[in-house]
């Protein structure tokens, strides 16, 4: 389907991200193959921050290859699926209380909102 027609507005994306605390992180593992892990996120003033367990495998892999994607979605029903993916580079901004924090730099955002489809899909 033509994604541009069902993309969220910048305001919708900001509100969507600001309301979420859990996301799926896509990354490359130490072997170079794709990997995924849940992450805690916060979004404020246009800056996305990802928190991972410090000294864990995922944080180590992100430090090794900072190319990441942060995917957030909600699926209340098929006709109302929404999602945002933020592609960017993870920059460590420090660790505290056992959590390593990364800012997502050079963000490139994709989004979709099935409610914007002209024709509602079958339920």
Partner 1 sequence: MSALPPDADEFLRTHTRTFLVTLRPDGAPTCHPMVGLYHEGALYLTTYRKSAKVRNLTADPRVACVVVTQDDDPEFRGIVLRGRAEVLAAGAVMPWTPETPRPAGTGAGVARLVQSRVAEGKRVVVRVVPDEMKAI
Interaction site with partner 1 (CB under 8 A): 1, 20-22, 24-29, 32-38, 56-58, 67-71, 73, 75-81, 83, 85, 87, 121-123
Bridge partner list, 39 = 23
Our CA angle for 62, 66, 68, nearest 5°, is 85
The minimum distance between CB 94 and partner 1, in angstroms, equals 23
Q: Are 48 and 14 in contact (CB under 8 A)?
A: no
CB of 28 to partner 1, least distance (A): 6
**Residue 96 or 122 with smaller CB distance to partner 1:** 122
Residue 56 Cβ vs partner 1, minimum distance, rounded to whole Å: 8
- Token code pair at residue 23: 């996301």
DSSP lists the bridge partners of residue 25 as 37, 70
């Amino acid at each position: 389907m033509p994604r541009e027609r069902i993309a969220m507005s910048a305001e919708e994306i900001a509100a969507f991200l600001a309301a979420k605390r859990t996301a799926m992180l896509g990354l490359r593992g130490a072997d170079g193959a794709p990997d995924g892990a849940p992450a805690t996120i916060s979004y404020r003033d246009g800056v996305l921050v990802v928190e991972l367990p410090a000294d864990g495998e995922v944080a180590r892999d992100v430090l090794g290859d900072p190319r990441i994607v942060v995917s957030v979605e909600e699926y209340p029903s098929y006709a109302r699926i929404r999602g945002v993916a933020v592609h960017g580079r993870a920059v460590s901004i420090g660790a505290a209380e056992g959590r390593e924090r990364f800012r997502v730099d050079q963000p490139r955002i994709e989004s979709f909102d099935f409610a914007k489809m002209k024709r509602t899909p079958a339920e």
